[in-house]
Amino acid sequence: MTPSEIQSIKQRFGIIGNAPSLNFAIQVAAQVAPTDMTVLITGESGSGKESFSKIIHALSPRKHGQFIAVNCGAIPEGTIDSELFGHEKGSFTGATEARKGYFEVTNGGTIFLDEIGEMPLGTQARLLRVLENGEFIRVGSSKVQKTDVRVVAATNVNLLNAVQEGRFREDLYYRLNTVPITVPPLRDRGDDIYLLFRKFATDFAERYRVKPITLSSDAVQELQRFRFPGNIRQLKNIAEQMSVLETEREVDNRRLRQYLPQDQSSNLPMLLGATADGTAPQGLSERDLLYKVLFDMRRDMTDLKRLVLEVAAGSARNGDAGQAQELVRQNSHLFTNLSVAPYDGGARLTARPAEPTEPFIISTQPTADYEEDDEVQRVEDITHETEEESLSLEAKEKEMIIKALKKHHNKRKYAAQDLGISERTLYRKLKQYDLE
């Protein structure tokens, strides 16, 4: 496919950018469009996956047929079968009349199933039958109906991981993934970031009848360094905010930073086992996960200190004071006071905890009746003594919430994203800790 043909597609569908990964995705979409092959579009939320489904439909022989986009994550589990495949009158409470589903309405056209990873397992089995045989059955009916629909699916989660966790059918995954298209995240598109910003700034200037926002050279560099976890959607929101709020139409990097969250990726706290969209796994609350992170961090630090002490004590026991001293020097940040000194043909290793107390001697000169198990036990005792600091979980949680609010200038929405919890949960915790 020639560069001019790719550029023509961009102009037709309003796609801005020249990143090689973006051009490749457009080329694959254009090549697969004339066929009836199923396509799976993957990419982060807000990266523009729906635009590629429209390219595939518009360049296909089905372009005169109907195109319907369905967000599988926005339809309740109890009604998604009815929405997709239709239902008969009286099939469930509230079904006062028969209704056609999307697969029946779009016969001869294209259906775009966004957030396919959120589809319930029962509905996945029905979808697989449509893809394999072009057959479906309305809810409450026993009559098999035929449909000729091309399916384009999209997801922002790793479906292979979902398959391994039992949340997605393996046979459906391989049936959908006939032709994969990967939409690159905004942070990987380089100069496209500023091109998109200029486009959005011009659009909002026309809408609000103001002069377009421009960026200084240092502000452009600042913008391109930002990770944009929300991708194009986030960039568009930032451009709109600046278009409305800025009195000076040229913005430098200092002013720009006020519109960019300080933490470029929403990974604080790190939720162990969280899903790709940052939500907690079923069965664990945000509070449980926060406690787990704190305990794991403390345990890892304790293990690290124990390992350093064991190795240093071994060197001291063998009379190698130089090696023990070097090890202590490299890891001095782990202890309040840790020292090694030659002693009577061997070496002495001492550790002092944070609280004022007598130093602990955990290794002296080598002796014939030395027992390694006693050495390890003494090391463990010292390690526990150096971990005397108090750890109030509620205090740590309150401290992290305060830090997140300060970081985002008391904007609860961004603070909640930063903490990896919902805005409603943050509001509840603000009341709980009297932080309002």
71 in the Ramachandran plot: left (φ > 0), alpha (ψ -120 to 50) or beta?
A: beta
Percent residues over pLDDT 90 in the chain = 54
Residue 389 has pLDDT above 50, yes or no: no
**Ordered domains of the chain (ranges, CATH):** 3-184 (3.40.50.300), 187-257 (1.10.8.60), 300-368 (no CATH), 392-432 (1.10.10)
Q: How confident is the model at residue 275 (pLDDT cuts 50, 70, 90)?
A: very low
**Which range (142-156, 287-301, 335-349) has the least confidence?**
335-349
The DSSP secondary-structure symbol of 139 reads B
Q: How confident is the model at residue 30 (pLDDT cuts 50, 70, 90)?
A: very high
Tokens of 92: 């469930």
Q: Looking at the DSSP assignment, which residues form a beta bridge with residue 346?
A: 343
Distance CA 412, CA 427 (A): 8
Reported as a single tens digit per residue, the pLDDT across 232-255 is 999 999 999 999 999 888 999 999
Reported as a single tens digit per residue, the pLDDT across 185-194 is 999 999 999 9
- Whole-model pTM over 0.75: no
What is the average pLDDT value for the chain, to the nearest integer?
A: 80
Distance CA 105, CA 93 (A): 23
Phi, psi of 154 (to 5 degrees): -145, 150
Neighbour tally for 350: CB within 10 Å:
18
Distance CA 143, CA 134 (A): 14
Nearest to 259 by CA among 318, 201, 307, 308: 201
DSSP character string of 125-169: HHHHHHHHHSEEE-BT---EEE---EEEEEESS-HHHHHHTTSS-
Please report the pLDDT score of residue 270 as a whole number: 44
Phi, psi of 106 (to 5 degrees): -90, 20
Please report the pLDDT score of residue 397 as a whole number: 81
